[in-house]
Chains A and B, each alone.
Chain A
Amino acid sequence: MPLPTARRAKRRGPRRFTSRDLAVIGVLLGIPILLELALIWGPTLASIGLSFTNWDGIGDIHWVGIDNYKTLFTDYPPFWPAVRNNLLWVAFLGLVATPFGLLLAVLLDKGVRFSRFYQSTLYMPVVLSLAIVGFIAQLVFSRDQGALNAILANKNDPVDWLGDPDLNIWMVLLAAAWRHTGYVMILYLAGLKSVDPSLKEAAAIDGASETQTFFRVVLPTLRPVNIIVGVITVIEALRAFDIVYAINHGRNGLELLSVLVTDNIIGEASRIGFGSAIAVVLLTVSLGFIVTYLVQELRGGKKG
């Protein structure tokens, strides 16, 4: 084996890339970087900037300082319900759907028969678009023709599952969890397969019960998967949009921050400055998780 230091020195040398190489790198690396900066990070910064203006998309841009945020927090009725719903989304996916997905993964990992059938079935909802999930939710939960009311046989006093603003968020969460559970299950299943079986055997020999083994031995080794699942759960909960938009455009109990942003920019009243302020709130919360995740990834990368 050649010495790594020697190799590296050679590679760092001035003749590392020919001019043709540099052109290839310049173009093929330049395009994605440009796209990423122009269409993702540039707009992100622009959103932050615009959130301090009262721009309507056509006229002049006036700097209004933190007025938009003041209005948002004190004088915009759908804001707090939207925050509450987004938090509910995080909590429900994180505390109900994710553990359930983990449970299913653990059960499937025991090597049961028909495992492939179970896996495919549980995973099927993930390939559906949330818009379709939203429609199917209507099929199940609608007041007059929904399947749920038919099961309950309450024809005289039907429950309006999606119309009642106290109830509908829970029904939508069920529908969202339907999709999330399968996703989480697949990730954990892959993680569990890579756990060294000798660890479990060692724990068993030491007299640990199955539950003890799982929580003390298996789960800690799944740390990287736990982090990914956590990030996906939070990010998906903050991004949630399609499903409520497909059901009722995110009104009447189904408000979400993402819907409020969209509401403020498309259509007649294009309050771009104000919509951006909502987007920045969303961004601030997400960035916290994104940064935590990246730091984690970096550490893992260094180790590997």
Chain B
Amino acid sequence: MTVTTPPAPVRTATPVTGTGKRRVTRGRLGLHAFLMVVSLAFLAPLLLAVYASLRPYEETAKYGYFSLPRHLSFDYYAKAFNDSGMGKYFVNSLIIAVPGVLLTLFLASFVAFCVTRLRIRGGLVLLMVFTAGNLLPQQVIVTPLYVLFTKINLPYWMSDSMTMYDSYWAVLAVQVAFQVGFCVFVLANFMRTIPDEIVEAARVDGAGVWTQYWNITLPLCRPALAALATLQFTWMYNDFLWALVFISDGDKLPITSALNNLRGQFFTDYNLLAAGSVIVALPTVLVFLLLQRHFIAGLTLGASKG
């Protein structure tokens, strides 16, 4: 092989910012142009939805979505929120997602703790059972669960349908069972990086399993737990299928599924639906923008070890 390229310019390509001014030329400009175009293309549909939601339907119907605005208002937001009872659906989503996230993290962290810290027998099998469970297509388990939930009776104070079917419990239970798999996987990877000596010392001092878990291991896992919490909240909030299948009473639907029901009501008014979508998307977008670091950490913790 003939060495035609001198190594120097290649070396400046390593991720050190502010390297030689020679590189800040056509290549860099092209790179920025490309990234800018792609970014705008990715953002465009969202901006379009926001723009549409601010304009009256008649206006876009007449002049199209790309016309200049003649009248901008938040009317549709008020309408979407009031007329369709979105507040109620929001509460439904929170009723499922908040306990769901807390329970999932609690149970998953304990399983991970048992597998990695206590090294219980069969830990590896346990890890596989949970991890594989999270990778199954939801539709595989939907049918038997549907039947199971209609058969489980609950007292009236727990469910006004008197069964597990058509109650928050059904969705909550499935969410937890399904997501525990992912969290066990991530937390086990994380706990492996905690030095043994820390727990060892406590054990010598006579700390029981609960103390080792709650007072020693869990605080050390705070970064991973924070990351998982943001991620899990987004996933549970965005869930669509479970509620669709396990809840029949429209009043109990979480907001994502409720949006689908609203579609029938306002079929032609896309601008109103756009406003509804923006409202629905707002919590996850906010969580993402505010907790971006944690959010991304959660995904990559699960993906790349160490």
A residues with CB within 8 A of B: 7, 11, 17-18, 20-21, 24-25, 28-29, 31-33, 35-36, 38-44, 46-47, 50, 57, 104, 107-114, 117-118, 120-125, 127-132, 135-140, 142, 145, 147, 150-151, 178, 181-183, 186-187, 190-191, 194, 197, 200-201, 204-205, 207-210, 213, 224-225, 228-229, 231, 235, 238-239, 241-242, 245-246, 257-258, 261-262, 265-266, 272, 275-276, 278-280, 282-283, 286, 289-291, 293-294, 297-298, 300-301, 304
From B80-88, B154-162, B175-183, the one touching the partner chain is: B175-183
CA distance A121 to B44 in the complex (A): 10
CA distance A286 to B140 in the complex (A): 10
CB distance from B180 to the nearest CB of A (A): 5
Known: A150-B66, A261-B143. 6 other contacts (CB 8 A): A21-B210, A25-B118, A57-B147, A111-B15, A142-B270, A204-B7
CB distance from A54 to the nearest CB of B (A): 13
Q: Which of A18, A117, A122, A142 is in CB contact (< 8 Å) with B38?
A: A122
Asked whether, in the complex, the Cβ of B46 is within 8 Å of the Cβ of A31, the reply is no
Asked whether, in the complex, the Cβ of A20 is within 8 Å of the Cβ of B46, the reply is no
CA distance A204 to B8 in the complex (A): 8
Q: Produce 1/0 per residue, B27-58, CB < 8 A to A.
A: 01001101100110011011011001000000
Asked whether, in the complex, the Cβ of A262 is within 8 Å of the Cβ of B133, the reply is no
Answer yes or no: B73 CB below 8 A from chain A CBs. no
Between A and B, 25 residue pairs with Cβ closer than 8 Å are A21-B209, A25-B118, A40-B133, A43-B143, A47-B141, A107-B31, A110-B31, A118-B39, A131-B259, A131-B260, A132-B259, A136-B277, A139-B274, A142-B270, A191-B304, A209-B5, A245-B244, A262-B245, A265-B245, A276-B144, A279-B140, A279-B143, A290-B136, A298-B128, A300-B305
Answer yes or no: B92 CB below 8 A from chain A CBs. no
Q: Produce 1/0 per residue, B256-290, CB < 8 A to A.
A: 11011001000000100110010011001101110
Q: What's the A-B contact tally at a CB cutoff of 8 Å?
A: 318
Chain A residues with Cβ below 8 Å from B303 are 187, 190-191, 225, 228-229
CA distance A238 to B16 in the complex (A): 40
Asked whether, in the complex, the Cβ of B14 is within 8 Å of the Cβ of A197, the reply is yes
Asked whether, in the complex, the Cβ of B139 is within 8 Å of the Cβ of A124, the reply is no
CA distance A28 to B177 in the complex (A): 14
Chain B residues with Cβ below 8 Å from A293 are 135
Chain B residues with Cβ below 8 Å from A235 are 135, 137
Asked whether, in the complex, the Cβ of A140 is within 8 Å of the Cβ of B281, the reply is no
CB distance from A151 to the nearest CB of B (A): 7
CB distance from B302 to the nearest CB of A (A): 8
CA distance A67 to B277 in the complex (A): 43
CA distance A193 to B177 in the complex (A): 33
Chain B residues with Cβ below 8 Å from A117 are 39
Asked whether, in the complex, the Cβ of B180 is within 8 Å of the Cβ of A282, the reply is no
B residues with CB within 8 A of A: 1, 3-5, 7, 10-11, 13-17, 28, 31-32, 34-35, 38-39, 42-43, 45-46, 48-49, 52, 60-61, 64-66, 107-108, 110-111, 114, 118-120, 124, 126, 128-133, 135-148, 173-174, 176-178, 180-181, 184, 192, 200, 208-210, 213, 234, 237-241, 244-245, 256-257, 259-260, 263, 270, 273-274, 277, 280-281, 284-285, 287-289, 292, 295-296, 299-300, 302-306
Asked whether, in the complex, the Cβ of B43 is within 8 Å of the Cβ of A124, the reply is yes
Asked whether, in the complex, the Cβ of B140 is within 8 Å of the Cβ of A205, the reply is no
Asked whether, in the complex, the Cβ of A32 is within 8 Å of the Cβ of B110, the reply is yes
Query: For residue B278, which residue of chain A has the nearest CB?
Result: A132
Asked whether, in the complex, the Cβ of A43 is within 8 Å of the Cβ of B141, the reply is yes
CA distance A147 to B66 in the complex (A): 8
CB distance from A193 to the nearest CB of B (A): 8
CB distance from B69 to the nearest CB of A (A): 15
CB distance from B64 to the nearest CB of A (A): 5
CA distance A33 to B112 in the complex (A): 12
Chain A residues with Cβ below 8 Å from B135 are 231, 235, 286, 289-290, 293
Chain B residues with Cβ below 8 Å from A286 are 135-137, 140
Chain B residues with Cβ below 8 Å from A209 are 5, 10
